[in-house]
């Protein structure tokens, strides 16, 4: 079991450039992923047995065929008894196959029910909306000023049920964080819900798993599972309006932001920028990555992204912004001050 | 004979398939001339006789279905819908009829977006990149059926309140400030 597990881990890690621990079906961090992993191994071993039997049968048939081939003349007599036996053999194999498939079907249904059917008490509710090509994350609250809006990085408390409401703004996307649970499609104009609960703190990677256009491959997200205390601190910080810029460069940056194309798509709460087309940037400096897990959140990456996003993610909705060098430095300084 | 027929049928099929090239998407291309705002004419009247008509402006994005659909997306994103609705108008004038107050040429629509117009149309200069204004201009003209059907959007994302742009019959523009243009 352990050898097979390590081998499968190794092969999967080779196939994926990401840190295997952060994006791995067999390193579950949630009961939902445990159930899926259990089903994976049950099917793996069933199919392993089938594989061994098949190879044995082929080898047997091959040896038999060699004996016949070495015979000078093929025997063409009809062997009623042998045919009868062969008929039974094929029938039995067919029956076993159907039974095996049926067992797998039943186990899949059982796993599906286990993943879905857990009860949740005092859950954290998160609304995830797919966009081409980023994830809008909202923590809805009955009071509008208590609603947190962010993008691409989902903070969740460990050991607390998380209910995820899904929707999409444009085309079908799919939410897939293999350490946490199975894939969930986000359908435009159709709300659905699922839930998970993370047991181990850590940062888990997720990826859009339904082809959604040119930049489908650059539509990642991360789930940051932290203690309830850390999560509440993060939430309180996110609820604040944007930090007032303190340096003269950042003040100039805000002016540039509010007089150029930036404000046509982005929100910075506490300023006049309030459009909901692109990600909310009120606390953009608190995120690890930008452009849906495409670039690290550094001054250089931010500047490159602002000037020519079409070079980094061709087809993205963000337009190139040919800013003067001073203006660009100022905007980047302002964005980096938005903790 | 039969053999030859098959070969020629295959050749025809290959030729036809080869012609199905996919339209190139313009992702990082400089927009048309920046001077358009200065050269468009808002009045249809010229001193003297109108003997030599002003050459029509052109918009390269009108040849790309991708660019027109991007214009459609931006028309929503930048809240053109807020005043012009989905072409039927409301606070602002409708865009799917034949009355074009400030001209129907691509350059005129572009200039209207960039400069703004009295009584409510905001100026988007320095707020949106020029290429986006050209994409929106292309889409606006498609709403009145002024673009070829092949590039006009043929699917609408909103509730079914009007036929898609590709099914809109061409609205022959009445031109600017009351001077009718000749139908093309």
Q: Are residues A253 and A225 in the same domain?
A: no
Predicted confidence band of residue A67 (pLDDT cuts 50, 70, 90): low
Point out the least confidently predicted range of A55-69, A223-237, A292-306. Answer: A55-69
Point out the least confidently predicted range of A10-14, A121-125, A203-207, A278-282. Answer: A10-14
Q: DSSP string covering B97-132, please?
A: SS--TT--SHHHHHHHHHH-BTTTBPP-TTTS-HHH
Contact flag B77-A264 (C-beta cutoff 8 Å): yes
Point out the least confidently predicted range of A150-159, A274-283, B6-15, B152-161. Answer: B152-161
Q: Contacts of residue B127 in chain A, CB cutoff 8 Å? A: 260-261, 263-264
Residue A240: inside a domain: no
Asked if residue B137 lies in contact with residue B64, where contact means CB atoms within 8 angstroms, the answer is: no
Residue A83: inside a domain: yes
Backbone angles phi, psi at A249, to 5 degrees: -65, -45
Q: Are residues A100 and A83 in the same domain?
A: yes
Mean pLDDT rounded to a whole number for chain A: 88
Residue A231: inside a domain: yes
Report how far apart, in Å, the C-alpha atoms of A308 and of each of A34, A328, B29, B107 are. 42, 12, 12, 26
Identify the pLDDT of residue B184. 43
Contact flag B127-A321 (C-beta cutoff 8 Å): no
Contact flag A317-B132 (C-beta cutoff 8 Å): no
Res. B176: pLDDT tops 80: no
Identify the pLDDT of residue A230. 95
Residue where a domain stops, chosen among A235, A257, A286 = A235
Point out the least confidently predicted range of A64-78, A210-224, B136-150. Answer: A64-78
Residue A201: inside a domain: yes
Structure tokens at A110: 């059982």
CA-based nearest residue to B141, from B123, B120, B166: B166
Q: Are residues A261 and A213 in the same domain?
A: no
Q: Are residues A147 and A201 in the same domain?
A: yes
Predicted confidence band of residue A255 (pLDDT cuts 50, 70, 90): very high
pLDDT tens by residue, A301-314: 999 999 999 999 99
Mean pLDDT throughout A292-309?
A: 93
- Cα angle, residue A186 at apex, residues A184 and A187 outer, rounded to 5°: 130
If you measure CA to CA, which chain A residue comes closest to B78?
A: A264
Mean pLDDT throughout A274-299?
A: 92
Identify the pLDDT of residue B30. 66
A→B interface, C-beta within 8 Å: 259-261, 263-265, 275, 277, 308, 310-311, 314-315, 317, 319-321
Q: Are residues A254 and A293 in the same domain?
A: yes
Q: Are residues A289 and A266 in the same domain?
A: yes
Q: Which of A52-56, B41-45, B104-108 has maximum average pLDDT?
A: A52-56
Identify the pLDDT of residue B89. 85
pLDDT tens by residue, A161-181: 999 999 999 899 999 999 999
Mean pLDDT throughout B6-30?
A: 77
Res. B21: pLDDT tops 80: no
Identify the pLDDT of residue A19. 65
Spatial CB neighbours of A3, under 8 Å, sequence gap ≥ 6 = none
Res. B50: pLDDT tops 70: no
Q: What is the number of CB-based contacts under 8 A between chain A and chain B?
A: 32
In chain B, % of residues over pLDDT 70: 78
Spatial CB neighbours of A145, under 8 Å, sequence gap ≥ 6 = A239
Mean pLDDT throughout A270-278?
A: 91
Q: Are residues A129 and A225 in the same domain?
A: yes
A146: left (phi over 0), alpha (psi -120 to 50) or beta: alpha
If you measure CA to CA, which chain B residue comes closest to A309?
A: B28
Mean pLDDT throughout B136-161?
A: 84
Nearest Cβ partner for A311 among B28, B127, B131? B28
Point out the least confidently predicted range of A117-126, A249-258, B57-66. Answer: A117-126
Mean pLDDT throughout A71-93?
A: 79
Q: Are residues A104 and A139 in the same domain?
A: no
Predicted confidence band of residue B55 (pLDDT cuts 50, 70, 90): low
Contact flag A264-B73 (C-beta cutoff 8 Å): no
Residue A321: inside a domain: yes
Res. A183: pLDDT tops 50: yes
Pick the CATH number of B33-38+57-184 from 2.60.40.10, 2.160.10.10, 3.40.50.2300, 1.10.760.10: 1.10.760.10
Res. B181: pLDDT tops 60: no
Report how far apart, in Å, the C-alpha atoms of A333 and of each of A206, A273, A296, A327 are. 29, 17, 16, 10
CA-based nearest residue to B128, from B83, B86, B82, B71: B71
Mean pLDDT throughout A72-87?
A: 76
Identify the pLDDT of residue B53. 63
Domain of residue A275 covers 248-336
Res. B14: pLDDT tops 50: yes
CA distance A74 to chain B (A): 40
Mean pLDDT throughout A86-99?
A: 90
pLDDT tens by residue, A113-124: 888 876 667 889
Q: Which residue has the higher pLDDT, B175 or B19?
A: B19
Q: Contacts of residue A264 in chain B, CB cutoff 8 Å? A: 77-78, 127-128
Q: 99-128 in B: which are within 8 Å (CB) of A?
A: 126-128
Nearest Cβ partner for B128 among A259, A261, A314? A261
Predicted confidence band of residue A140 (pLDDT cuts 50, 70, 90): very high
DSSP 8-state code for residue A179: T
Mean pLDDT rounded to a whole number for chain B: 81
Structure tokens at A127: 């609304």
Domain layout of chain B by residue ranges: 33-38+57-184
- To test the contact with chain A by mutation, choose from B76, B129, B132, B157 the residue with the greatest count of A C-beta atoms within 10 A, namely B129
Asked if residue A122 lies in contact with residue A161, where contact means CB atoms within 8 angstroms, the answer is: yes
DSSP 8-state code for residue B55: P
Residue where a domain stops, chosen among A235, A265, A282 = A235
Residue A243: inside a domain: no
Residue where a domain stops, chosen among A212, A235, A258 = A235
Residue A308: inside a domain: yes
Res. A204: pLDDT tops 90: yes
Predicted confidence band of residue A72 (pLDDT cuts 50, 70, 90): low
Residue A242: inside a domain: no
Res. B182: pLDDT tops 60: no
Identify the pLDDT of residue B178. 46
Q: Contacts of residue A261 in chain B, CB cutoff 8 Å? A: 126-129
- To test the contact with chain B by mutation, choose from A214, A319, A322, A327 the residue with the greatest count of B C-beta atoms within 10 A, namely A319
Nearest Cβ partner for A314 among B27, B77, B127? B27
Looking up residue A138, the CATH number of its domain turns out to be: 2.60.40.420
The answer to whether B27 contacts chain A (CB < 8 Å) is yes
Using CB atoms within 10 A of its CB, is residue A91 exposed (0-12), middle (13-18) or buried (19+)? exposed
Contact flag B25-A315 (C-beta cutoff 8 Å): yes
Res. B183: pLDDT tops 50: no
Q: Contacts of residue B131 in chain A, CB cutoff 8 Å? A: 319
């Amino acid at each position: 079991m352990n050898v097979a597990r390590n081998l499968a881990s190794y092969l999967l890690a080779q196939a994926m450039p990401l840190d295997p621990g952060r994006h791995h079906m067999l390193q579950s961090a949630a009961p939902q992923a445990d159930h899926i992993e259990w089903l994976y191994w049950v099917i793996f071993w069933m199919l392993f047995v089938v594989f061994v039997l098949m190879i044995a049968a082929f080898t047997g048939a091959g040896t038999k065929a060699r004996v016949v081939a070495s015979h000078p003349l093929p025997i063409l007599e009809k062997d009623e008894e042998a045919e009868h036996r062969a008929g039974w053999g094929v029938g039995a194999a067919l029956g076993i196959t159907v039974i095996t498939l049926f067992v797998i079907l039943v186990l899949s249904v059982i796993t599906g029910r286990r993943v879905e059917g857990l009860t949740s008490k005092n859950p954290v509710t998160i609304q995830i909306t797919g966009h081409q090509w980023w994830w809008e994350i909202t923590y809805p609250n009955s009071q509008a000023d208590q609603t947190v809006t962010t993008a691409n990085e989902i903070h969740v408390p460990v050991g607390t049920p998380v209910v995820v409401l899904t929707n999409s703004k444009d085309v079908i996307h799919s939410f897939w964080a293999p350490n946490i649970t199975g894939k969930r499609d986000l359908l435009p104009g159709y709300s659905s819900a699922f839930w998970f609960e993370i047991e181990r703190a850590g940062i888990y990677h997720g990826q859009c798993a339904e082809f959604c256009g040119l930049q489908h491959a650059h539509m990642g997200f991360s789930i940051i599972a932290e203690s309830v205390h850390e999560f509440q601190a993060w939430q309180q910080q996110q609820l604040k309006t944007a930090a007032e810029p303190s340096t003269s460069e950042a003040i100039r940056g805000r002016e540039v932001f509010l007089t150029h194309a930036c404000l046509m798509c982005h929100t910075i709460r506490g300023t006049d920028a309030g459009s909901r087309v692109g990600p909310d940037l009120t606390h953009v400096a608190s995120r690890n990555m930008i452009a849906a897990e495409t670039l690290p959140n550094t001054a250089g990456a931010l500047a490159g992204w602002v000037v020519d996003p079409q070079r980094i993610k061709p087809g993205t909705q963000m337009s190139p912004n040919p800013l003067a060098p001073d203006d660009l430095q100022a905007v980047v300084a302002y964005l980096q001050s938005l903790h | 004979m039969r053999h030859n027929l098959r070969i020629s049928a295959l050749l025809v099929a290959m030729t036809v398939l080869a012609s199905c090239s996919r339209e190139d998407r313009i992702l990082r291309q400089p927009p048309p001339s920046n001077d358009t705002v200065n050269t468009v004419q808002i009045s249809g009247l010229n001193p003297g006789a109108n003997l030599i008509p002003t050459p029509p402006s052109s918009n390269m994005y009108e040849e790309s279905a991708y660019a027109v659909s991007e214009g459609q997306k931006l028309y929503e994103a930048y809240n053109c819908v807020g005043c012009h609705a989905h072409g039927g108008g409301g606070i602002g004038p409708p865009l799917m009829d034949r009355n074009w107050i400030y001209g129907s040429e691509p350059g005129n629509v572009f200039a209207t977006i960039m400069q703004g117009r009295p009584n409510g149309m905001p100026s988007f200069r320095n707020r949106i990149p020029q290429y986006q204004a050209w994409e929106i201009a292309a889409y606006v003209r498609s709403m009145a059926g002024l673009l070829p059907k092949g590039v006009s959007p043929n699917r609408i994302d909103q509730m079914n309140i009007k036929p898609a742009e590709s099914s809109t019959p061409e609205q022959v523009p009445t031109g600017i400030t009351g001077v009718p243009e000749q139908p093309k």
